[in-house]
Chains A and B, each alone.
Chain A
Amino acid sequence: MWDRIKEKLGILADSAKYDVSCASSGSKRKNENKGLGNASNGICHAYTEDGRCVSLLKILLTNHCIYDCAYCVSRRSNDVKRAAFTVQEVVDLTINFYRRNYIEGLFLSSGIFKNADYTMERLVLVAKKLRTEHNFNGYIHLKLVPGASKELVEQAGQFADRLSVNIEIPTEEGLRLLAPDKKREDMLHPMRVLKNAIDESADRGPRPSSLALPAAASPAKSRLFAPAGQSTQMVIGATAEPDLTILKIADAFYKKMKLRRVYYSGYVPISTDNRLPAIGTPVPLIRENRLYQADWLIRWYGFSVDELLSANQPSLDMEIDPKLAWALQNLHVFPLDINTADLLLLKRIPGIGLQSAERIVQARRYSPLHWDQLKKMGVAINRARYFIICKGLPQQPKDYAAEQIRQFILSAGHSKYHPNFSPQLALFQ
């Protein structure tokens, strides 16, 4: 029995791993029933050799699939071993891994067998069993199957912490080329249903007032509806969309669908299909990283997509991060005085992150900040020095041109990707 489970686990983990989401934070599910687990922490229990966080048991229920999406390892025409877990097997694995502190919970996805609702029903069943039969309060992330009905989406939200539909291919044209059986609308529909349901549950308030409910009402936590919201993933580099298009789409998802996260997954070549990059093409890791940096700037630093990219410049700079790139194009904003600049502007200084910016604002109330103190407070002074004024600066900022500053910064440090991913190095491996 163990050998069979192990084989299935191998197959169904292997085919789930291209989904990059690993988040287990952002929920607020507590262990109120002296049951098992809670979901509020966001802990990475391990890291794979590719450096990615392992937080959840991330598996497919089955990799049998009726679809033939060119970019997907589980596509119908692909000659891979197929397997399927029973609902009970997934439940048992989750509980036993969780009790040993291996995981924060379950991330369950699936190939589509029979049809969308048949598949979705089984995913919901796993979550329901965990919650109702095993008192499990750990994190559950369920994949919403494109084309799933409104009823099932709403049921999923009652048991899961997070739900996600992967858009995968950023544009409709790309989708038509690589996944002709799928329609973009089939993906957007469950997203919209979910968004409305989340909004409604927020309107009802997080906890029912005890007066409004009969005495036998279910405990407050059963009223949680997808408390960690929804997310999606876009594959980067399988089709030709530039960064501007990708970030515009992401931005629209954040604003219109209120997504918590958009994940960018550099395409890992897994197919000889000539519509896709050939096997052996490097994974666009740097591009992926730059997109995440830009995504952070948009969500946390108050930047808009249009400030970072334009039709004339639709791609992010691969050599320097997007904040530095923005600063170099907007040198008229700088230098900024550390001791007087607004928080919003401090956050725009290259080398100063959210935490440093907030600390500067708090610390300068006691006494004006000195260059030496900035260094110790965690500011990346090698970058910040060209953009700030403060006491004790080793040399006053000169009127350097953007290109000069760029070269100073590039020569002072080297990219963390350089030794790992340089193509030259690969020749000798």
Chain B
Amino acid sequence: MNTVIYDGTFEGWLSTVFEVYERRLDDVRIIENDAPSLFGNSITITSDEAKAHRVWKGLCARISINAAKQLYRSFLSEEKGREDHLLAYARYALSAKLSIEYDYAHPSVRYVIDTDKKVRREKHRMEAFVRFALTADQIYYATVSPDFNVLPLIRRHFEQRYADQRWLIYDTHRKYGIYYDLHQTLPVTIEPANPACPADPACPADPSLPDSPNPIFTPDETQYQDLWRHYFQKVNIGARKNLKLHLRHMPTRYWKYLPEKRPSL
């Protein structure tokens, strides 16, 4: 058993695949560097853009771009052991003459299909459940804490949709956000508790709860949230009540983002 330690990035994983082939390693276990290694004979791989690129190109020559994206999204699941599963997928893909991506009966292909499905569902939920609040300095600001690392996947959607407003989506779990400044979207990491007003010492700690009159948001912000909440209650048809379905579509762990699921003032 060879234990390979990498830096936890997708580029790092691709570099690892390169080294696995280069060094002809069999029976590999890939571990992220912050996990404690119990094995003495481990190999540490540093990310290498050129090697990563070669592996990516090699994969894209064997599978469609669609399947390559599935592989990438599966990686973003952060699921334990995904590196090994994805290595098995890569080996299968690189060993076959024809694309293996439709071999749904194969365990590695199924792993990628199933994991990708979970990540895409979370991506879609973030596109649905992000709720912007307008700050006094005219930034539409939202916090999320998705199950998977989906900010890289939702960036384009929000860029295309909100091209004429500045916005910031902050992942409180992974402690980084993406900020669109009307020209481009950049990753941001902000140390203070509230990234919307980093310089303001009076800044409240939890901006995801703008229910109480809050100086950092525009005066109209609470009004619009209140209107939205009212609207949400009014479109319900009591005679068709179906809480089970409601909860299946809007699991309670997402309610913290949603003004319509928070009690009004």
Contact = CB atoms under 8 A, between A and B. Distances in A.
Interface residues of B, number: 52
A128 B132 CA distance: 26
Contacts of A419: 244
Contacts of B163: 31, 34-36
12 contacts: A2-B227, A17-B234, A45-B128, A49-B236, A49-B243, A50-B238, A51-B245, A52-B240, A283-B240, A363-B104, A367-B105, A376-B105
Nearest to A45: B128
Nearest to A18: B237
A102 B228 contact: yes
Given A9-B234, A101-B130, A367-B105, A50 B161 contact: no
A47 interface: yes
A46 B258 contact: yes
A54 B235 contact: yes
Nearest to A97: B228
Interface string B102-120: 1111100010000000000
A99 B140 contact: yes
B249 A47 contact: yes
B160 A31 contact: yes
B97 to A, nearest CB: 12
Interface of B: 100, 102-106, 110, 124, 127-134, 140, 142, 157, 160-165, 220, 223-224, 226-228, 230-232, 234-246, 248-250, 258, 260
Contacts of B164: 34-36, 135
Report the 9 A-B pairs with minimum CB-CB distance, sorted nearest first: A51-B245, A362-B102, A50-B240, A47-B249, A373-B105, A51-B242, A363-B104, A48-B236, A13-B234
A331 interface: no
A48 B165 CA distance: 28
Given A41-B127, A50-B242, A363-B102, 16 more contacts: A13-B231, A14-B235, A17-B235, A36-B165, A38-B160, A47-B245, A47-B246, A49-B242, A49-B246, A50-B240, A52-B237, A54-B232, A58-B235, A100-B132, A283-B239, A362-B104
B134 to A, nearest CB: 7
B244 A377 contact: no
B234 A359 contact: no
B237 A99 contact: no
Contacts of A377: 104-105, 110
Contacts of B244: 51, 419-420
Interface in A1-57: 2, 5-6, 9-10, 13-14, 16-18, 30-31, 34-38, 41, 43-54, 57
A268 interface: yes
Contacts of B258: 46
A224 to B, nearest CB: 17
A359 B104 contact: yes
A54 B130 CA distance: 14
A369 interface: yes
Contact of B236 (A50, A96, A362): A50
Nearest to B261: A46
Interface in A81-130: 93, 96-97, 99-102
A52 B250 CA distance: 11
B70 to A, nearest CB: 14
A41 B127 CA distance: 10
A326 to B, nearest CB: 26
Contacts of B129: 45
Contacts of A420: 242, 244
A100 B234 contact: no
A370 interface: yes
Contacts of A50: 236-238, 240-242, 245-246
B224 A101 contact: no
Contacts of B161: 31, 36-38
A9 B162 CA distance: 25
Contact of B105 (A52, A101, A283, A366): A366
Contacts of A266: 240
B141 to A, nearest CB: 10
A102 B231 CA distance: 11
A365 interface: yes
A345 interface: no
Nearest to B114: A376
Contacts of A9: 227, 230-231, 234
Contacts of B227: 2, 5-6, 9, 93, 97
B12 to A, nearest CB: 30
A36 B239 CA distance: 37
Given A45-B128, A46-B258, A366-B105, A100 B140 contact: yes
Nearest to A17: B235
Interface string A163-178: 0000000000000000
B240 A268 contact: yes
A285 interface: yes
A419 B100 CA distance: 43
Nearest to A35: B164
B246 A365 contact: no
Contacts of A359: 102, 104
A47 B165 contact: no
Contacts of A41: 127, 157
Most buried by B among A16, A31, A45, A93: A45
A17 B105 CA distance: 44
Most buried by B among A10, A100, A135: A100
Interface in A128-142: 135
Contact of A6 (B103, B165, B226, B235): B226
Interface in A343-385: 359, 362-363, 365-367, 369-370, 373, 376-377
